[in-house]
Amino acid sequence: MAGNDTLTIAMPKGRILREALELFEEAGYPVEEGRFESTRKLTVTLPEAGLSFFLSKPGDVPTYVEYGVADLGVVGKDVLMEEGRDVYELLDLGISRCRIAVAALPDWRPTLHPRVATKYPRIAGRYFLEQGEQVEIIRLNGSVELAPLIGLADRIVDIVSTGRTLRENGLVELETVAVVTSRLIANRASFRLKSGAVDRLCSRLAAVVTGEGVRT
């Protein structure tokens, strides 16, 4: 287990980081956003806040938390659903909102052997199983919107936020699979052994998220 009183938090390096740091700041933790900018450092320790962050790929955050090298993590619900790790989900932070959707070219028609391209094979597999439709899932690592354009798949399952990527590639959204926001997650042992610090952080963040404000 990481540290004693300090909480170690795994954070994605990308778009979630800035919004999450703003929440921590509003919750009364002096996280000094500048310390995270224009640096290649992957760890940022803030003794005055009692927090230590490390920055990782989003898909790895639940892994670090399950194994207890991070007490807590901030991660999109999409990643949690896909990774299926054994962690506690403590709080919906309401940030980095987007959705997972099925999309296709407008002239898409059902075929005998449907193929679906996605970065989320487990989520997509489960979704089509629930729909009672048998499809072949093709896993890609990004630029998923390319797949229908070049004939790799007839549909995709991917993140939609503004809808710009779909629009600019001439694709239409067919169904919403899940609405996604970022979550605060916890290692099971840390949740018990560091309950004081975890409860404090969680209730302060909850007050900010629900708009109640933080009483210090």
Q: Which residues bind ligand PRP (CB under 6 A)?
A: 142-145, 158-165
Q: Any contact of residue 208 with ligand ATP (CB under 6 A)? A: no
Q: Taking contact as CB under 6 A, which single stretch among the options 10-18, 40-48, 125-133, 193-201 is the one that binds ligand ATP?
A: 10-18
Q: Which of 18, 23, 9 is nearest to 213 (CA)?
A: 23
Q: Which member of 78, 80, 144, 153 binds ligand ATP (CB under 6 A)?
A: 78
| Chain center to CA of 100 | 12
Task: Name the residue with the smallest CB distance to ligand PRP.
Answer: 142
Residue 58 within binding range of ligand ATP, rule CB under 6 A: yes
189, 1 Cβ separation under 8 angstroms? yes
Q: Which does 131 bind (CB under 5 to 8 A by kind): ligand ATP, ligand PRP, none?
A: none
What sign results for the dihedral spanned by CA atoms 192, 197, 203, 209? negative
31 scored as a contact of ligand ATP (CB under 6 A) = no
Taking alpha carbons only, the member of 59, 44, 58 closest to residue 7 is 44
- Quick check: 73 binds ligand ATP (CB under 6 A)? no
What residues form DSSP beta bridges with 172? Answer: 104
Judged by beta carbon, residue 98 or residue 116, the one nearer ligand ATP is 98
Shortest distance, position 92 Cβ to ligand ATP, whole Å: 12
Instruction: Name the nearest CA neighbour of 2 among 187, 195, 202, 204.
Output: 187
- Token readout for 172 is 């239409």
